[in-house]
Amino acid sequence: MSETTLKIKLFGDPVLRKKSKQVREVTGAHRDILAKMARLMYEQSGIGLAAPQIGINETMIVVDVGSGLYKLINPQIVSSKGSQAIEEGCLSVPGVCIKVKRAKKIIVKAKDENSRAISIEAEDLLACVLQHEIDHLRGKLIVDYASFLDKLKIKNKLKELEKRLRSEKLPKQETKSCKLQL
């Protein structure tokens, strides 16, 4: 059986705006998808990736900020406090960086790839990345956090991404130098 190559969906693809469905039962297929998502995230030099970004409408994310890989199913933020604002990039919106205000500390409850319940206390960078990826599961992108001025600045870039999507001529992912490439 040939292996399907995963591709990151770009801004303008409707799958990025859909609310993801909860995973009812974790299967071998879910574990396989999470492994492929992690490989793709590393290949693209990202530190987080959500299933909608590869066209899968299920609540799964992978995250690695340098302290180890998390493969999470049905993640939910159950507690948050404090605030931080970090400039973020996104693999689905290449070339765009937006300063996003998020909670500084969070607690996330989820299932791991073996269907075990886990709880993650995260702060700073890990908290930011988890919130970013969980946003994807709700159909929310970093551009939704953009100020009016930022929206004017990125307007042409977003039109270009939508045009590329329509023509399906997608060159290798380009990145702008953002502090975080998620």
Residues with a known catalytic role: 133
Tokens of 78: 């159950």
* 3-state DSSP assignment of residue 147: coil
The DSSP element (H or E) to which 74 belongs, if any, is: strand 70-81
CB within 8 Å of 162: residues ≥ 6 apart:
11, 12
Question: Residue 3 — left, alpha, or beta (φ > 0 → left; ψ -120 to 50 → alpha)?
Answer: beta
Q: Using the 8-state DSSP alphabet, how is residue 145 labeled?
A: G
Q: Which among 50, 45, 11, 14 has a CA at the least distance from the CA of 131?
A: 50
Q: Which among 131, 127, 150 has a CA at the least distance from the CA of 141?
A: 131
Question: Residue 17 — left, alpha, or beta (φ > 0 → left; ψ -120 to 50 → alpha)?
Answer: alpha
